[in-house]
Amino acid sequence: MSERKPALLLLAVAGACLALVSCRDSGAAGEHFRIDGKLFVFNYRVATATYLVNLVPVEPLGDGQTAVATFEDPAGGEPIVVREKIWPKLEKTTIESPPLRCVVKDRPYAVSIRIENADGAVLQTIETTMTSSENQSILPDKPLVVGPLYTPNPELAGRPGGHLPDQGGAPCPDIPKA
């Protein structure tokens, strides 16, 4: 009987390890994705700022899913909505907004992401905020280069900072810092 004790002990330890492994945290109930990164992208060369969010799946994906991101418009207009197809074989889904205006440093902007199935039913909603570490005023007024050969933009000749006098565009709203 004493010969069976080490075998029973080994079996009990293996069973406990298996139970612990099967109980690992794979995300909250109903969670299909989690945010893997979010930032404002300032592209100085082409004078644009955009929102960028990366999502990674936390469970196997179905075909036909879509991520619908709603970004607060820093210029104060209607929210910006971006639809991105989710490809089940990719490790992540990247959502990028069209170019923005009026991004203010240290101000949180609301972002909502819905994950929809092929029928349009909402599987998950992710609410978050994004905060820029810079004001959009650091960007030039026009792209620094044009064309496929990176030709210097003739509109900016003699203006090394890329800023033009009075652009005449819609002014950015005065947004108090958070």
For residue 99, give every residue at least 6 positions away whose Cβ sits within 8 Å of its Cβ, in sequence order, or none. 48, 49, 50
Q: What is the pLDDT of residues 2-58, one digit of tens each?
A: 555 554 454 444 444 443 333 333 345 668 999 999 999 999 999 999 999 999 999
Burial of 121 (0-12, 13-18, 19+ CB in 10 A): exposed
SS3 sequence of 41-99: EEECCCCEEEEEEEEEECCCCCCCCEEEEEECCCCCCCCEEEEEECCCCCCCEEEECCC
Q: What is the pLDDT of residues 102-134, one digit of tens each?
A: 999 999 999 999 999 999 999 999 999 999 999
Angle at 111 between CA 30 and CA 118, to 5 degrees: 45
What per-residue confidence (pLDDT) applies to 24? 35
Entry pTM: 0.77
Task: Walk me through the domains of the chain, giving residue ranges and CATH numbers.
Answer: 33-156 (2.60.40.10)
Q: What is the pLDDT of residues 90-100, one digit of tens each?
A: 999 999 999 99
